[in-house]
């Protein structure tokens, strides 16, 4: 009997202890849940603010608008010195009581940043289209096109040690030319006017066919390697314009303007180094695209 009474006395204490721990657990789960909600809210706000600032035409203004949540319209006479980039408003407009003016400096609105973004977007879009075209055609691109160039191993394009395109090289040149003829007229001048192009499209300044090689400039063999690289650039250029004559008509500016040049041009790059490989070995031929600024 005494043992039974002792057990009955312990039971309420045990239940009260369990209830206490259950309450603590519920409270901690609730606190963690609230913390997660707050963290998600601040992460969303941070992402939205970052997007607003990075995509704004005038980041300084966008940053101020992040904190100015109660803008009130007021009529005021504003004085502006456009040459000095100074703007003045009556002091009463900003809460003052005097008759003085308060002046602020400002940066002039420019189109340069917008044009740079437009050119960058156009360049990225162009490279994406060219990459897709050539991979669909099975052209053996060497490397990533995101760097702004289409690159090919010279060994794939040319007969060994020569500037004569192989059968495979001629097919690659035809595939590349077809893609360029489809994409470049809207980014240049002198092409067919039958192509429907978006208004305000950014333009290309240069499409360079470049052959790159390593050479020992102080040896006869190294000098032959440099000459071969230039000859291969010219041969690939001729293959492109021969396959698609419109490419030879494209220019970086209207023909009647000073400084107008053919859009597709040729270059070679040779890096001198000791112990360079045999003539023509390891050369690459690239088509590099440079947007007008």
Sole residue written with tokens 């360049």 = 123
Tell me whether residue 142 is in a domain.
yes
Neighbours of 208 (CB within 10 A): 19
**Domain range spanning residue 261?**
111-291
- Which string of b and e fits 15-26 if b means at least 16 CB within 10 Å? eeeeeeeeeeee
How many structural domains are present in the chain? 2
Distance CA 282, CA 86 (A): 59
When pLDDT is averaged across residues 186-190 and rounded to a whole number, the result is 87
87 and 143 co-located in one domain = no
Tell me whether residue 13 is in a domain.
no
119 and 257 co-located in one domain = yes
235 and 260 co-located in one domain = yes
96 and 190 co-located in one domain = no
Residue 53, classified by CB atoms within 10 Å of its CB into exposed (0-12), middle (13-18) or buried (19+), is middle
- Find the helix or strand (DSSP H, E) in which 258 lies: none
What is the per-residue DSSP string for 31-88?
HHHHHHHHHHHHHHHHHHHHHHHHS-SSHHHHHHHHH-----------EEETTTTEEE
Task: Say if residue 171's pLDDT is above 90.
Answer: yes
When pLDDT is averaged across residues 31-40 and rounded to a whole number, the result is 86
Task: Say if residue 157's pLDDT is above 90.
Answer: yes
Rounded to the nearest integer, the mean pLDDT of the chain is 79
Which one has a higher pLDDT value, 71 or 212?
212
CA nearest to 237, candidates 192, 281, 288, 291: 288
CA nearest to 101, candidates 121, 80, 85: 80
When pLDDT is averaged across residues 125-135 and rounded to a whole number, the result is 89
Lowest mean pLDDT among 6-20, 155-169, 174-188, 267-281: 6-20
Residue 54, classified by CB atoms within 10 Å of its CB into exposed (0-12), middle (13-18) or buried (19+), is exposed
When pLDDT is averaged across residues 87-108 and rounded to a whole number, the result is 78
Task: Say if residue 10's pLDDT is above 70.
Answer: no
161 and 258 co-located in one domain = yes
Task: Say if residue 3's pLDDT is above 50.
Answer: no
Which one has a higher pLDDT value, 110 or 273?
273
Neighbours of 5 (CB within 10 A): 8
Sole residue written with tokens 């970086």 = 252
176 and 282 co-located in one domain = yes
Q: What is the pLDDT of residues 44-75, one digit of tens each?
A: 777 766 655 555 455 556 656 666 667 778 77
Question: In CATH, what number is assigned to the domain containing residue 154?
Answer: 3.30.1330.60
pTM reported for the whole predicted model: 0.60
95 and 147 co-located in one domain = no
């Amino acid at each position: 009997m005494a043992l039974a009474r002792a057990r009955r006395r312990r039971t309420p204490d045990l239940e009260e202890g369990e209830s206490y721990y259950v309450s603590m657990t519920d409270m901690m789960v609730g606190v963690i849940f609230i913390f997660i909600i707050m963290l998600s809210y601040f992460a969303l706000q941070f992402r939205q603010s970052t997007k607003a600032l990075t995509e704004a035409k005038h980041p300084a203004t966008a940053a101020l608008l992040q904190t100015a949540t109660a803008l009130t319209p007021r009529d005021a006479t504003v004085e502006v010195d456009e040459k000095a980039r100074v703007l003045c408003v009556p002091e009463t407009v900003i809460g003052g009581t005097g008759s003085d003016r308060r002046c602020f400096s400002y940066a002039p609105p420019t189109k340069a940043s917008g044009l740079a973004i437009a050119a960058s977007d156009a360049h990225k879009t162009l490279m994406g289209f060219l990459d897709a075209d050539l991979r669909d055609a099975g052209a053996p691109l060497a490397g990533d096109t995101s760097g702004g160039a289409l690159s090919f191993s010279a060994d794939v394009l040319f007969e060994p040690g020569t500037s004569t395109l192989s059968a495979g090289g001629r097919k690659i040149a035809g595939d590349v030319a077809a893609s360029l003829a489809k994409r470049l007229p809207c980014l240049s001048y002198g092409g067919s006017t039958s192509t429907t192009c978006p208004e305000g499209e950014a333009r290309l300044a240069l499409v360079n066919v470049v052959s790159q090689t390593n050479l020992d400039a102080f040896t006869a063999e190294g000098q032959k390697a440099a000459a071969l690289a230039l000859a291969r650039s010219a041969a690939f250029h001729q293959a492109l314009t021969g396959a698609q004559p419109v490419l030879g008509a494209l220019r970086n500016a209207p023909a009647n303007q000073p400084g107008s040049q053919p859009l597709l041009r040729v270059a070679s790059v040779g890096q001198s180094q000791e112990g360079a490989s045999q003539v023509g070995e390891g050369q690459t031929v690239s088509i590099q695209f440079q947007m007008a600024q």
